[in-house]
Amino acid sequence: MHPILPPFPTTRLRRMRRTPALRDLAQEHRLSVKDLIWPIFITDVPGADVEISSMPGVVRRRLDGALRAAEEAAALGIPAICLFPYTDPAVKTEACEMAWNPENITNKVIRAIKAEVPDLAIMTDIALDPYNANGHDGLVRDGVILNDETVDCLVRMALAQAEAGADILGPSDMMDGRIGAMRAALEAAGHRDVTILSYAAKYASAFYGPFRDAVGASGALKGDKKTYQMNPGNSDEAIRLVARDLAEGADMVMVKPGMPYLDICRRVKDSFGVPTFAYQVSGEYAMLMAAVRNGWLDGEKVMLESLMAFRRAGCDGVLTYFAPEAARLLNQG
């Protein structure tokens, strides 16, 4: 679209920026509390419910703390929270059986929140890393991440979470074929209306560092995730991955990380027109918070500006650790 632009002084683009009212009228994109998904860290490990040092202001929560967060989200009008478990190193095995145990912390928290705050949407994470002695998202044999064997585990994990009452399943593992396998298993088990938000374009990024501290995967992880997560040098591949996941039954897709990959958000939205989300990941949060804590950036302003960037790039919503703070500001108007 190329609007007709008569030459100066007929055109003075500053006219529409002169007052707050005119700026409001001309604003193209808006950020609402309804665009936010709040990721929270949960744990059943005694003493682990502390602040994460690389993520100031973010804490791990026991079941009662998770319930309070759910109530807070609902009170603020945030539509969904997303659960990430920190697990006891003692339960991590090479076979990752705890990942699909109905009594693992994620499934317990899902049931508890659904009983108390039923209207809040609960999103989960599907990947083996919190339960894997190797710290990887997939099963490892002789240093190789196994695809098809991992997909079988992920399907079990998905079914256990759906059974517990999850509304949105979030496969973040980047194995091939997982969306189709999960969708078929959900249909067969009668979970026809459980949605899948696929981490379709997930890059092998150094911006996940603080998250790995939060879920306790940093110590366990051997090597890197480059054989399954995307090469940051690729863009066309993101389109192929999104097309593939949609064809296999994903309802929504995600680009991750967020701010360094806004070009991918835009391409995905323009190419497919499906519900598109970005994950403003732990490293992005840590980066902004470090500057804010030093007094170098205005926290409220950079938070809202960074979130608006996702809307402008075509995202329908954002997973962000800023969700409750941003919601408080947005609710003030």
Length of the chain: 333
Point out which span in 45-53, 64-72, 181-189, 204-212 binds ligand PBG (CB under 6 A).
204-212
Q: Give all strands (DSSP E) within 127-224, no chain letters.
A: 140-141, 144-145, 168-169, 195-202
**What Cα–Cα distance (Å) separates residue 270 from each residue in 136, 218, 273?**
32, 36, 6
d(CA 161, CA 146): 22
| Contact status, residue 87 vs residue 105, Cβ threshold 8 Å | yes
User: Residues binding ligand PBG: what is the number (CB under 6 A)?
Assistant: 11
- Tell me: does residue 213 bind ligand PBG (CB under 6 A): no
Kindly list the catalytic residues. Answer: 202, 256
How far apart are the C-alpha atoms of 244 and 177, rounded to whole Å? 9
Write phi, then psi, for 256 (nearest 5 degrees): -150, 135
Give yes or no for residue 106 binding ligand PBG (CB under 6 A).
Answer: no
150 binds ligand PBG (CB under 6 A): no
If one asks whether residue 248 binds ligand PBG (CB under 6 A), the answer comes out as no
Q: Which of 114, 212, 244, 312 binds ligand PBG (CB under 6 A)?
A: 212
Residue 52 beta carbon to ligand PBG: minimum distance, rounded to whole angstroms: 11
278 binds ligand PBG (CB under 6 A): no
211 versus 327: smaller Cβ distance to ligand PBG: 211
Selected range binding ligand PBG among 105-113, 123-131, 154-162, 180-188, rule: CB under 6 A:
123-131
Q: How far is CA 99 from CA 44, 203, 223, 290, in A?
A: 14, 23, 21, 33
Q: Note the residues at the interface with ligand PBG (CB under 6 A).
A: 125, 127, 129, 137, 172, 208, 211-212, 225, 281-282
